């Protein structure tokens, strides 16, 4: 268990009437959690549009990626006044948030909350704030994101083999196909072999590519150059992971990205990289 959790807090002038009091209420439950206020608006000559309530560029969070990595989690207060800026700031992060961000929401409707979660927030709390719930959510959020060098071994045999191959877990003498690729769900197998129904071209192509990846992995040995072996393993793992995520979400890309804890832009980029079509995973009554 970590002795202390360092929590960055983005301080914005537009929240000055309620955020300090909120943190005072939360302080009762913040044992082992140290707050670090980040007042980026103060004392800086920043280029922002005239008349903006928030005197901070929308790229501020993305540009602070290096300095923010020293924290375990970031608190991002959001109200109706800062909702538009927050959406743009999260969308400006190229591959989604680089550390878990927990929102503190004031007077937001459910549609806005859902939108911010899809843009990359790890979790949120609403006002009025309960100190015990706030602390529990922060601890749970940090626990879901292992620090570099402390990645735990996965229970999934396919993911374990992949982690061994790239050097995170101890390496076995050889890597064989049964431990390398995630099993294809039975439901997807039935869909591929529906008697009397035409198989879509995209699904047939994707199935063929998946089989080729498995065949290539089956002959992989430690005599192969490290970078080549690593690239093959990563490609096979990515493809199978994305396929299974889409299968579980019935082709809903936003839901699949959220359950994978990936920003939907990054998830969509992986789909395009491996030429995966989400329509193949949607129920028949939605695709016809």
Which pLDDT tens digit goes with each residue over 229-280?
777 888 888 889 999 999 888 888 988 988 888 888 888 888 988 889 888 8
| Contact between 200 and 184 (Cβ < 8 Å) | no
Judge if 53 and 168 occupy the same domain: no
Residue 280 lies in a domain: yes
Q: Look up residue 39 and give its two tokens.
A: 């007042």
Of 77, 110, 143, at which residue does a domain stop?
A: 143
pLDDT of residue 49: 52
Structural domain count of the chain:
2
- In a domain? residue 199: yes
On whether both 227 and 252 belong to a single domain, the answer is: yes
176 and 271 co-located in one domain? yes
Q: Judge whether 68 and 8 are in contact, CB under 8 Å.
A: yes
- Distance from the Cα of residue 193 to its chain's centroid: 33
For range 139-144, the mean pLDDT: 88
Q: How far apart are CA 269 and CA 42, in angstroms?
A: 37
Query: DSSP H helical segments within 121-218, as ranges?
Result: 131-143, 157-165, 186-192, 201-218
Q: Looking at the structure, tell me whether residues 82 and 34 fall in a common domain.
A: yes
Q: Quick check: is 248 in a domain?
A: yes
Do 87 and 195 lie in one domain? The reply is: no
- Inside any domain, residue 152: no
Q: Answer yes or no: do 13 and 131 share one domain.
A: yes
231 and 270 in a single domain? The answer is yes
Q: How confident is the model at residue 201 (pLDDT cuts 50, 70, 90)?
A: very low
Identify whether 216 is part of a domain.
yes
Residue 173 in this model has a pLDDT that exceeds 50: no
102 has which bridge partners? 75, 123
Which is higher by pLDDT, 145 or 103?
103
235 and 121 belong to one structural domain: no
pTM across the whole model: 0.51
Same domain flag for 27 and 132: yes
Q: Which domain holds residue 33?
A: 5-143
135 and 9, same domain (yes or no): yes
Maximum Cα interatomic distance, the chain, rounded to a whole number of Å: 70
Task: State the CATH number of the domain containing residue 139.
Answer: 3.40.50.2300
Q: Which residue has the tokens 């206020």?
A: 37
Q: What is the pLDDT of residue 146?
A: 57
Same domain as 78, residue 207: no
**Residue predicted with more confidence, 224 or 99:** 99
Decide if 208 is inside a domain.
Answer: yes
- The answer to whether position 148 is within a domain reads no
Among 116, 143, 170, the domain-final residue is 143
Same domain, 96 and 182: no
Please compute the mean of the pLDDT values over residues 15-29 and round it to a whole number. Answer: 89
What is the model's pLDDT at position 223? 66
Question: Read out DSSP for 194-212?
Answer: -TTSPPPHHHHHHHHHHHH
Give domain status of residue 104, yes or no.
yes
Band the pLDDT of 150: cuts 50, 70, 90. Answer: very low
Looking at 88, 110, 143, which one is the last position of a domain?
Answer: 143
pLDDT of residue 97: 78
Look-up: residue for tokens 């390398």?
180
């Amino acid at each position: 268990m970590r002795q202390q959790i360092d929590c960055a807090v983005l301080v914005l002038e537009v929240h000055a009437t309620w955020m300090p009091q909120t943190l005072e209420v939360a302080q009762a439950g913040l044992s082992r959690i140290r707050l670090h206020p980040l007042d980026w608006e103060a004392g800086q000559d920043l280029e922002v549009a005239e008349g903006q309530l928030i005197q901070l560029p929308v790229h501020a969070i993305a540009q602070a990626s290096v300095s923010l990595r020293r924290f375990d989690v970031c608190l991002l207060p959001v109200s109706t006044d800062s909702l538009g800026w927050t959406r743009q700031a999260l969308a400006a992060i190229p591959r989604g948030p680089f550390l878990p961000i927990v929102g503190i929401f004031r007077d937001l409707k459910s549609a806005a909350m859902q939108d911010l979660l899809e843009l990359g927030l790890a979790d949120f709390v609403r006002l009025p704030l309960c100190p015990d719930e706030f602390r529990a959510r922060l601890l749970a959020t940090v626990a879901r994101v292992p620090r570099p060098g402390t990645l735990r071994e996965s229970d999934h045999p396919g993911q374990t083999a992949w982690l061994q191959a790239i050097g995170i877990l101890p390496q076995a003498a050889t890597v064989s196909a049964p431990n390398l690729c995630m099993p294809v769900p039975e439901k997807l197998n039935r869909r591929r072999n529906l008697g009397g129904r035409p198989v879509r071209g995209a699904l047939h192509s994707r199935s063929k590519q998946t089989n080729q990846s498995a065949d290539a992995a089956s002959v992989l040995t430690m005599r192969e150059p490290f970078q080549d072996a690593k690239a093959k393993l990563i490609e096979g793992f990515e493809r199978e992971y994305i396929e299974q995520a889409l299968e579980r979400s019935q082709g809903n890309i936003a839901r699949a990205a959220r359950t994978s804890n990936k920003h939907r832009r990054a998830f969509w980029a992986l789909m395009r990289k491996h030429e995966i079509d989400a329509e193949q995973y949607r129920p028949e009554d939605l695709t016809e």
